[in-house]
Amino acid sequence: MKKTKIIFWIITGLFSALMLLTSWPDIMVSEDAVKFMKDQLGYPMYMIPFVGWAKVLGIIAILIPGFPRIKEWAYAGLFFDLAGATYSIIAFGGLDSGMIFMLVFFALLFGSYFYYHKLQKESVQ
């Protein structure tokens, strides 16, 4: 169980850090976030801080112990955020080599989710 817990926290920590780093420009409604979300993708301005705060709340839900149902919703929400971002980028500009970086986000998300459930199973036994 100790090995599983260490792996979970490393993967979850990396995933959380990446998601928090990507949420900051949205929360601050930075010029780059506006240029990308509004000007390039065509999303309304009110979506920019909403998406940023939703990411932060999802990460908080994942990091705080307990609340398994909220964690499930948080993992689902973060998956849909990443899937929506990937789809929007592909729809706007097509596939390019920069999209490979999105695989890192998905791998960390699925790794965190997998080890979260593995920890849950181990703690019941």
Query: pLDDT by residue (tens digit) across 50-104?
Result: 999 999 999 999 999 989 999 999 999 999 999 998 998 888 877 877 788 899 9
Residue 25 banded pLDDT, cuts 50, 70, 90: very high
pLDDT for the residue 93: 79
Q: How far apart are CA 89 and CA 84, in angstroms?
A: 9
Q: How far apart are CA 60 and CA 58, in angstroms?
A: 5
Does residue 1 surpass a pLDDT of 90? no
pLDDT for the residue 118: 95
pLDDT for the residue 41: 85
What's the pTM value of the predicted model, to 2 decimals?
0.90
For the chain, give the mean pLDDT: 93
Per the CB < 8 A criterion, the answer to whether 62 and 100 are in contact is no
Per the CB < 8 A criterion, the answer to whether 112 and 62 are in contact is yes
Q: What are phi and psi of 96, to 5 degrees?
A: -145, 175
pLDDT for the residue 11: 98
Write down the domain spans for the chain: 2-124
